Amino acid sequence: MILNFVFPVAKFIGSGDYQIEYYLYQAVSLVPDVTVPLDSSFFMINTAFAGLVALGSLVAIFLFKNRILQAKIVRMLVLFTLAHIGLLFFYTIPTLEKLSGNPVEYNYVGIAMPLVSFLMLILAVKGIMSDEKLVKSADRLR
């Protein structure tokens, strides 16, 4: 998810009023002396979800001694990632497409990172729960 802050998510290039390159936290006009008429609050929710997922994932790594709490945090991060993906595809990108009047051209690195993050979080939950099951079965044998 940290890479989502570095790479652009999409470009809106064509014959419309605005030529825009969309990063997670801002939209940059590709035409000199033209500003995008969106304030920072438009990007704040998506940026917050992505930041929470990145920070929460880092916190969850260090909770390896408390697997139940770790699994709860990772499940919550899965929901945050789904909310981020939903906002990205169903609100932010269509709004920017309508504003610019240009079709969207996705940057594959920027658009794939939330999807990869979602997949990795699902695999993390499965791994955490299998570890917990293994520990409980080992405790039962003692």
pLDDT band at residue 31 under the 50/70/90 scheme:
confident
Per-residue pLDDT, averaged over 82-101, amounts to 92
pLDDT at 79: 97
Architecture of 3-141 per CATH?
Answer: Up-down Bundle (1.20)
Average pLDDT of the residues of the chain:
91
Instruction: Break the chain into its structural domains and give their ranges.
Output: 3-141
Burial 16-43 (b: 16+ CB within 10 A, else e): eebbbbbbbeebeeeeeeeebebeeebb
Query: Is the model's pTM score more than 0.85?
Result: yes
